[in-house]
Amino acid sequence: MLAATEALVLRSEQLFGRLFERVPVLFDLRGRAAGMFKVVGQRRWIRYNPWIFSKYFEENLRDTVPHEVAHFVVHELYGSRGVKPHGPQWQAVMQRFGAAAEVTFDLDLDGIPRRRQRTHPYRCDCRLHQVSSTRHNRVQRNSGRYHCRTCGGDLVYAG
């Protein structure tokens, strides 16, 4: 995986006539995603899901590695403002790689560990809801409010 990622970065340098700074490549991704290009401030890195890669190595070498390297190349060439994740710039890079510009894969993930998010009990006027930790934290920080789709009532923490 590291060699395939490096080979595509080298190829990108030839295709675009410029050098690209190397970013960390991690094998720490969990859940249903096979790969991810991540940017936080000035930091950038590529993450791969070792479980999915071990189950579908060839498919991921062919599809996921170019997909994530293309995100990295687009970010380096155009930045992130006004550039859609799978927009024309990304599709053009994928085409130059000779890879299919597919956004998702449809492989059986049976046996792949999934990331589980804790849920929290919330009540409305008609029933009890289970709300994800992400939404629960937003409510606790007063940066989010949620309503029941059935009765329209506010969801109130019941824990």
Q: How many whole angstroms separate alpha carbon 53 and alpha carbon 56? A: 5
- Per residue in 50-81, pLDDT (tens digit) is 999 999 999 999 999 999 999 999 999 999 88
Q: State the catalytic residue, choosing from 13, 21, 59, 68.
A: 68
Domains and CATH numbers, the chain: 2-97 (3.30.2010.10), 119-157 (no CATH)
68 carries an active-site annotation: yes
- Number of neighbours of residue 75 by Cβ within 10 angstroms: 19
- For residue 145, what pLDDT band results from cuts at 50, 70 and 90? very high
pLDDT at site 115: 66
- Per residue in 11-25, pLDDT (tens digit) is 999 999 999 999 999
Q: 3-state DSSP helix/strand/coil percent for the chain, to nearest 5? A: 40, 20, 45
